Amino acid sequence: MSDLTGADEVKRNLERFAKGILPEAAKALALEAKPIEKESRRRTPVETGALRDTHRISEPEIRGGVASVAIGVGDASTPYAVFVHESMEAAHASGQPKFLQSSAFDAKPTLASKLGKQINLRRAMR
């Protein structure tokens, strides 16, 4: 019977990878949020441009082993943001309802592949 050699090194490498992959995933999420936010801006109904200008992307966050970013629209200067986003009946000269939601849903089919390309495995192993 032969003994397994190198198991401790494999374990250390896996632990190092697990620790390093989340920050890399967070960076990738932040990068991939930008085209979604840009598309949402393009789809935002415009009367004055104020709502379109309130788009923002949060800093990447890691909590409980999960990396995330948030894309938001609206602030105190645009209390109508939810109405404009949610109302399917409102007539808009430009843009569309559900501008942020539809932009995120449209990105979903290719998002995992794009994230995978953004994640730097070499940095994750440091």
* C-alpha of 124 from chain center: 19
pTM above 0.75, yes or no: yes
Residues with Cβ within 8 Å of 59's Cβ and at least 6 positions away in sequence, in order, are: 30, 69
Task: Compute the distance between CA of residue 5 and CA of residue 80 in angstroms, rounded to an integer.
Answer: 64
Q: What is the pLDDT of residue 4?
A: 67
pLDDT per residue of the chain (126 residues) written in tens, 0 to 9: 556 678 888 888 788 877 788 888 999 999 999 999 999 999 999 989 999 999 999 999 999 989 999 999 999 999 999 999 999 998 888 999 999 999 999 999 999 999 988 887 777 667
pLDDT for the residue numbered 20: 82
